[in-house]
Chain A
Amino acid sequence: MTAPALHTAAPVAAGFSVQVDGLTKIYGGGNTEVIAVREASFTVARGEVIALLGPSGSGKSTLLSAIGLINPPTRGRIAINGEPVMDGPRPLVDLRAFRRHHLGFVFQKANLIPFLTARQNVQVALEVNDVAPRAARARADELLDYLGLGDRRHNLPFMLSGGQQQRVAVARALANHPSLVLADEPTAALDGHLSRQVMELLRQVAHEQRAGVIVVTHDHRALDVFDRTLEMEDGALREHAGPAPEPAPVVKPLS
């Protein structure tokens, strides 16, 4: 899929979950300048699930945090759900409110709030979005049932297995019907079976809820569940057509 240009004056395509155009992120300056992401441009359609691959330090998480509106880019533009949200480091919307309405996050660790039950962890994402408590409970129960955790809704996170915690995190990410779900190595802490289960779950909800999903992963065992794969190396993004690429070496050969 070709990334359409996203210039300020250019129209933003409403069918895309996210459009990224010329995104560059530079840390530091002068002698200590590090270009973490350089000129990345791509789109993710609604209901599309893409994998973002690359070795450690290649800029995957930086790119994800920029799209997630928690780490502003140095240059480039981002539009989510057809709405321009970042023009370089300048936000075009209230970022926190935009995250609340349009984005869902899943991490390597479930990051559940330890003093809230499974249901409350989902419910809190709804209540901060001004959903009434009763409706929030009902939606949380619906999601937990959907993810097979209906009987665990009153459990605190420490009472749940790693896979169950991750499913609660997925439920929390989907609570507000997001346009885009960002997942940073969501299966890194899970075994092969659970890993595939979570990936398939993300694919399923992407298709059913018409949300775009970007998954940063090192896990090559489940690459077949993705619609596309993007690979990053030294901050540069390239798209792979056809089958998923071979795993990148953990240690790059010395030049």
Chain B
Amino acid sequence: MNLAAQDIRHNGGRFALTAAGIGLLLMIVLGMGGIYAGMVYEATLLIDRLDADLWVVQRSTRGPFAEVSRIPASLEPRLSAVPGVASARRFVYHTVQRERAGEPWRFSVQGLDWPVDRGQALPLLTGRPLGQAHFEMIADRTLGVALGERVRLGKDTFTVVGLTKGMTSSSGDPMAFFTLRDAQAIQFDQPGEALRLDREARRYRASAAELGQQQPGLLERAASPSPALPVLGPPTVSAVLLTLTPGADAAAVARTIAGWPDVTVYTHAEQRDLLLRGSVDRARRQIGLFRAILVLVSAIIMSLIIYTLTLDKAHDIAMLKLIGARNRVIVGLILQQALILGAVGYALAWVIGQWAFSLFPRLVLITGPDLALLAVIVLLISVVASGLGIWKALRIEPNTLLS
């Protein structure tokens, strides 16, 4: 006869409520691990998806994710000519926040190097890759747009041609993919009045110079749109991504490019490491500490619950001792209840978490190792928590029944 099971069956309601409370507590412990795993996943998702061998960014920066990086788009043909480089892609990445239906609408914009990159590698749920050089976009479903919807950004309207799943930036914002030119247009979009003022400012500076006074045609050119002025460079990009030829020595290619005075080069692993050692690492430590405190709180609460359950059974334990039950029967009763409570709480944490974590605004990624770790933690908590109850039970004297 299993005394622990009999007791639980008899006090089913109280046991269920206790297990539910422990389950919710363990769900938070599980969720904390899931939030961290989600952060790591989101932080490295884009880097992994882009699958570049080398990242070329602005000199002495840790861009484009850790900080702002701006390099001229003209670097792309220069880099393509480096021995060992199979292809170079310009990369534009920035975050925008607009308003939609009266709510803040935040997302990260990534420029695809049309026509080489149309977004074929993206995990499309529905729709298709970009089909033209302008005015189309692919968005993550968490952005809340529908396939075929027309979205106004800056002066242009974009049609949603594809929806992805799980594409978020390192900060957890949904991603939207445009052609590189369109991404730059969104990034450097200025209102008409600002453009007019800028042109007028150029014209004024030219008229103030001696050259402008001698050559009136220059004033006319100064008032032209920026792209028409050869003295003004094209908009910058965030980085240039390099794919190396098979068998190329990545370190040797990186050393060659690192010798250029205007850029810094990172390998895929270094770029990943930059993200993980930056803001994600601080979050990891913060979450780790919080998780440790939660585990401690769970252990204390479980100990108190098991202790209280033991006190409730003090009379029965005295009776068992009186009729000669060995200590292992008493210890088994308490330990089994603690383990059953822990196991049911763990199962509830997992089941409730499956539903609840999907409602969280950021990805909560529950991994197999995380579940295994929690199982070990719950096992340890259950054993430690039962210690207090066992200590009490072993001190119950059978002669209390005579008083």
Interface residue ranges, A against B (CB under 8 Å):
61, 64-65, 68, 70-71, 96-101, 103, 105, 107, 111, 113-116, 120, 123-125, 127-129, 133, 136, 156, 172, 184
Q: Is B316 an interface residue (CB 8 A)?
A: yes
Q: How far is the CA of A230 from the CA of B359 in the complex (A)?
A: 76
Q: By the criterion CB–CB under 8 Å, are B401 and A115 in contact? A: no
Q: Is B1 an interface residue (CB 8 A)?
A: yes
Q: By the criterion CB–CB under 8 Å, are B324 and A113 in contact? A: no
Q: Is B285 an interface residue (CB 8 A)?
A: no
Q: How far is the CB of B18 from chain A (nearest CB, A)?
A: 15
Q: Is B397 an interface residue (CB 8 A)?
A: yes
Q: By the criterion CB–CB under 8 Å, are A115 and B322 in contact? A: no
11 sampled A-B residue pairs with Cβ under 8 A: A65-B399, A71-B399, A96-B325, A100-B324, A107-B401, A115-B11, A120-B1, A123-B1, A128-B320, A128-B326, A128-B329
| Contact for A128 among B6, B316, B325, B401, CB less than 8 A | B325
Q: By the criterion CB–CB under 8 Å, are B10 and A70 in contact? A: no
Q: How far is the CA of A27 from the CA of B38 in the complex (A)?
A: 66
Closest A residue, CB atoms, query B399: A70
Q: Tell me which residues across on chain A come within 8 A of B293, comparing CB atoms.
A: none
Q: Tell me which residues across on chain B come within 8 A of A103, comparing CB atoms.
A: 324
Q: By the criterion CB–CB under 8 Å, are A100 and B323 in contact? A: yes
Give 9 closest A-B pairs by Cβ, nearest first: A100-B324, A115-B10, A128-B325, A70-B399, A99-B324, A115-B7, A113-B316, A70-B398, A125-B323
Q: Tell me which residues across on chain A come within 8 A of B7, comparing CB atoms.
A: 115
Task: Provide the B384-403 mask, 1 if CB < 8 A to any CB of A, else 0.
Answer: 00000000000001110110
Q: Tell me which residues across on chain B come within 8 A of A124, comparing CB atoms.
A: 1, 3, 320, 323, 325
Q: How far is the CA of A55 from the CA of B10 in the complex (A)?
A: 39
Q: Is B254 an interface residue (CB 8 A)?
A: no
Interface residue ranges, B against A (CB under 8 Å):
1, 3, 6-7, 9-11, 315-316, 319-326, 329, 397-399, 401-402
Q: How far is the CA of A97 from the CA of B328 in the complex (A)?
A: 13
Other A-B pairs, 6, CB within 8 Å; known A107-B402, A124-B325 = A68-B322, A111-B315, A111-B319, A116-B1, A125-B324, A127-B1
Q: How far is the CB of B320 from chain A (nearest CB, A)?
A: 7
Q: How far is the CA of A129 from the CA of B323 in the complex (A)?
A: 9
Q: Tell me which residues across on chain A come within 8 A of B326, comparing CB atoms.
A: 96, 128
Q: How far is the CB of A63 from chain B (nearest CB, A)?
A: 11
Q: A113-B319, A115-B6, A116-B6 are in contact. Are A65 and B402 (CB under 8 A)?
A: yes
Q: How far is the CB of A98 from chain B (nearest CB, A)?
A: 8
Q: How far is the CA of A103 from the CA of B402 in the complex (A)?
A: 15
Q: By the criterion CB–CB under 8 Å, are A120 and B6 in contact? A: yes
Q: Tell me which residues across on chain B come within 8 A of A100, comparing CB atoms.
A: 323-325
Q: How far is the CB of A143 from chain B (nearest CB, A)?
A: 14
Q: By the criterion CB–CB under 8 Å, are B316 and A114 in contact? A: yes
Q: How far is the CB of A52 from chain B (nearest CB, A)?
A: 13
Q: How far is the CB of A60 from chain B (nearest CB, A)?
A: 10
Q: Tell me which residues across on chain B come within 8 A of A65, comparing CB atoms.
A: 399, 402
Q: Tell me which residues across on chain A come within 8 A of B1, comparing CB atoms.
A: 116, 120, 123-124, 127, 133, 136
| Contact for A70 among B6, B11, B322, CB less than 8 A | B322
Q: How far is the CA of A71 from the CA of B321 in the complex (A)?
A: 13
Q: How far is the CA of A101 from the CA of B325 in the complex (A)?
A: 11
Closest A residue, CB atoms, query B403: A61
Q: How far is the CA of A47 from the CA of B143 in the complex (A)?
A: 88
Q: By the criterion CB–CB under 8 Å, are B323 and A61 in contact? A: no
Q: By the criterion CB–CB under 8 Å, are B11 and A111 in contact? A: no
Q: How far is the CB of B396 from chain A (nearest CB, A)?
A: 12
Q: Tell me which residues across on chain B come within 8 A of A71, comparing CB atoms.
A: 399, 402
Closest B residue, CB atoms, query A99: B324
Q: How far is the CA of A116 from the CA of B320 in the complex (A)?
A: 12
Q: A70-B397, A115-B10 are in contact. Are A128 and B402 (CB under 8 A)?
A: no
| Contact for B324 among A107, A114, A129, A136, CB less than 8 A | A129
Q: Tell me which residues across on chain B come within 8 A of A114, comparing CB atoms.
A: 10, 316
Q: How far is the CA of A133 from the CA of B399 in the complex (A)?
A: 28
Q: Tell me which residues across on chain A come within 8 A of B329, comparing CB atoms.
A: 128
Closest A residue, CB atoms, query B398: A70
| Contact for A64 among B10, B324, B397, B402, CB less than 8 A | B402
Q: A96-B324, A96-B326, A115-B6 are in contact. Are A184 and B319 (CB under 8 A)?
A: no
Closest B residue, CB atoms, query A137: B1
Q: How far is the CB of A132 from chain B (nearest CB, A)?
A: 11
Q: How far is the CA of A128 from the CA of B329 in the complex (A)?
A: 8
Q: By the criterion CB–CB under 8 Å, are B324 and A101 in contact? A: yes
Q: Tell me which residues across on chain B come within 8 A of A96, comparing CB atoms.
A: 321, 324-326
Q: By the criterion CB–CB under 8 Å, are A61 and B324 in contact? A: no
Closest A residue, CB atoms, query B327: A96
Q: A124-B323, A128-B326 are in contact. Are A115 and B9 (CB under 8 A)?
A: yes
Q: How far is the CA of A156 from the CA of B11 in the complex (A)?
A: 13
Q: How far is the CB of B114 from chain A (nearest CB, A)?
A: 72
Q: Which of B7, B322, B324 has the most CB of A within 10 A?
A: B324
Q: Tell me which residues across on chain B come within 8 A of A97, comparing CB atoms.
A: 324
Q: A70-B397, A124-B3, A127-B1 are in contact. Are A156 and B10 (CB under 8 A)?
A: yes
Q: Tell me which residues across on chain B come within 8 A of A184, comparing CB atoms.
A: 402
Q: Which of A113, A125, A129 has the most CB of B within 10 A?
A: A113
Q: How far is the CB of B403 from chain A (nearest CB, A)?
A: 8
Q: Tell me which residues across on chain A come within 8 A of B320, comparing CB atoms.
A: 113, 124, 128
